[in-house]
Amino acid sequence: MSVVSNNDKVQAIDYSTKEHYLTKVFQSPFYSRQEPLNHLKEWGRWADYLSPRAYTCSAMEYFACRNACTVFDLTPMSKYRISGKDALPYLNRLVTREVSKIKPARVGYCIWCTDEGQAIDDGTIFHLGEDDYRLCSQERHLDWLLTNTIGFDVQMTDETHEVAALALQGPTSCATLRKMGLEEIDSMKMFDIRDFPFEGTQLTISRTGFTGDLGYELWIDPGHAEVLWDRLFEAGHLHGIQAMGDEALQMLRIEAGFIQCRHEFMPAHATVRSGHTRSPFELGLGWLVDFNKPNFNGRKALLAQKKSGHRYNLVKLDIDGNKPAHDSYVFTRNKKQIGTVTSAIWSPSAKASIALATLETPHGEPGEEVLVEIYYQKELKWSRVMATARVVSEVFYDPPRKRLTPPADF
């Protein structure tokens, strides 16, 4: 089941093997292992897949990730294989950064835009081999990626359903993989990709993640999904391995300061209201925009925006008190409304109420003090505080172990 494009060839998706029309939703190839562990039966949706919101207790899962290691099912993530003679120029036209800087067997973070310079999604490019890349993202982008093939000699394959993937994250993740018998896993640096023989198939591991901690992502064919899960949990047994759902992941990624599509920005192609989209500059991702490239989607508009100035700054807020500032308005000291909180938690590791927020320019310089209007309720009684908050430049939680190579043994 895949989609292949070579310019004018007719596209067709063959879903006939998937019987998804009976269930309306796909089960992950790890479902048989997730289901018994999911005591809460709290299933969310990630695109066309079931995705656990939490297995037992999201706080426990969070702590497992910060103190041991957790397994999160990444299979629903969109995975597009881009290969062929023009794979590099294709990607360079698609995303705003210079893709040639992503060396073979390395992963690079990227963002891509419409012609109008508005963010469609962010994601990662895996440089798997010569003229062979994989683009991963939260949202589905088949149509846009096919549109982008016009004039390029590339093959674009949707392998979302062909590749099962797990994120193994946390301080004991390396030890777990080593115990599983993956030789020299220690020598992998951040953003490295390496293949390992595994149960007669190939297991691809990248030292990447969405938790801001030491961690890896594991990629394998769906036929070996269950055995991979089993082997991981055997090896990780004494390393505190736990299955983790999306709620815990949200806490982790906010602590790490990672933005997420549909939280910090709307995918431009799913946005109908004028002005409700964001440019990379407005997401703090100006460093991913390389105007040395003569052409990429959105270049002209972004050049113009660079000149005229962008509308919003995405900032990290350190908020007084202990109330999470969900969906809060942000004000100046003079009570002028200047923005909204996009993601907020009480951070167990930073021991602070933290948030990501979008502020109208020129607000959002590090050190600026703002007010955050927080509504909270205790037993149905609502209260409101105007909490003082500071714009901070550092990530809320950034342990050195995340970068250390070889990782420390926990």
Q: Which of 148, 155, 250, 305 binds other proteins (CB under 8 A)?
A: 148
CB 48 to other proteins: min, Å? 25
The CB density around residue 375, as the number of other CB atoms within 10 Å, is 14
Examine residue 147 and tell whether it contacts other proteins (CB under 8 A): yes
Examine residue 251 and tell whether it contacts other proteins (CB under 8 A): no
* Separation of first and last alpha carbons in the chain: 41
CB 5 to other proteins: min, Å? 13
Distances in whole angstroms, Cα of residue 297 to Cα of each of 94, 113, 120, 279, 293: 6, 6, 11, 12, 11
The CB density around residue 341, as the number of other CB atoms within 10 Å, is 24
Q: Which is nearer to other proteins, 147 or 337 (CB)?
A: 147
Q: Which of 204, 297, 328, 347 binds other proteins (CB under 8 A)?
A: 297
DSSP string, 313-344: EEEEEEESSS---TT-EEE-TT--EEEEEEEE
How many residues sit close enough to other proteins to count as binding (CB under 8 A)? 19
Q: Which stretch binds other proteins (CB under 8 A): 48-56, 142-150, 332-340, 385-393?
A: 142-150
CB 124 to other proteins: min, Å? 20
Q: Which of 61, 73, 86, 158 binds other proteins (CB under 8 A)?
A: 86
Q: Which is nearer to other proteins, 155 or 353 (CB)?
A: 155
Q: Which stretch binds other proteins (CB under 8 A): 33-41, 54-62, 144-152, 197-205?
A: 144-152
Q: Which is nearer to other proteins, 17 or 274 (CB)?
A: 274
Q: Which is nearer to other proteins, 151 or 181 (CB)?
A: 151
Q: Which of 209, 196, 175 lies closest to 406, judged by CA?
A: 175
Q: Which stretch binds other proteins (CB under 8 A): 9-17, 64-72, 141-149, 353-361?
A: 141-149
> Are residues 348 and 251 in contact, defined by beta-carbon separation less than 8 angstroms?
yes
Examine residue 33 and tell whether it contacts other proteins (CB under 8 A): no
CB 78 to other proteins: min, Å? 17
Q: 39 in helix, strand or coil?
A: coil
How, if at all, do strands 241-243 and 69-73 pair?
A: parallel
Q: Give the whole-angstrom CA distance, residue 257 versus residue 70.
A: 19
> Are residues 107 and 126 in contact, defined by beta-carbon separation less than 8 angstroms?
yes
Q: 2 in helix, strand or coil?
A: coil
Q: Which of 87, 94, 256, 314 binds other proteins (CB under 8 A)?
A: 94
DSSP string, 157-222: EE-TTT-EEEEEESTTHHHHHHHTT-TTGGGPPTTBEEEEEETTEEEEEES--SSSSSEEEEEE-G
Distances in whole angstroms, Cα of residue 202 to Cα of each of 32, 130, 399: 21, 18, 31
Examine residue 84 and tell whether it contacts other proteins (CB under 8 A): no
CB 151 to other proteins: min, Å? 3
Q: Which of 34, 70, 83, 114 binds other proteins (CB under 8 A)?
A: 114
Q: Which is nearer to other proteins, 118 or 342 (CB)?
A: 118
Phi, psi of 91 (to 5 degrees): -65, -35
Strand (E) positions, 207-307? 215-220, 241-243
Q: What is the contact mask toward other proteins in residues 152 to 191, using x (rule: CB under 8 A)?
A: x---------------------------------------
Examine residue 294 and tell whether it contacts other proteins (CB under 8 A): yes
Q: Which of 24, 41, 200, 295 binds other proteins (CB under 8 A)?
A: 295
CB 64 to other proteins: min, Å? 42
CB 286 to other proteins: min, Å? 18
Q: Which of 252, 253, 282 lies closest to 265, judged by CA?
A: 282
Q: Which pair of structure tokens corresponds to residue 105?
A: 């067997």
With 0-12 / 13-18 / 19 or more C-beta atoms within 10 angstroms meaning exposed / middle / buried, residue 318 is middle
Q: What is the contact mask toward other proteins in residues 40 to 59, using x (rule: CB under 8 A)?
A: --------------------
Q: Which residues bind other proteins (CB under 8 A)?
A: 86, 89, 93-94, 114-115, 144, 147-148, 150-152, 294-300
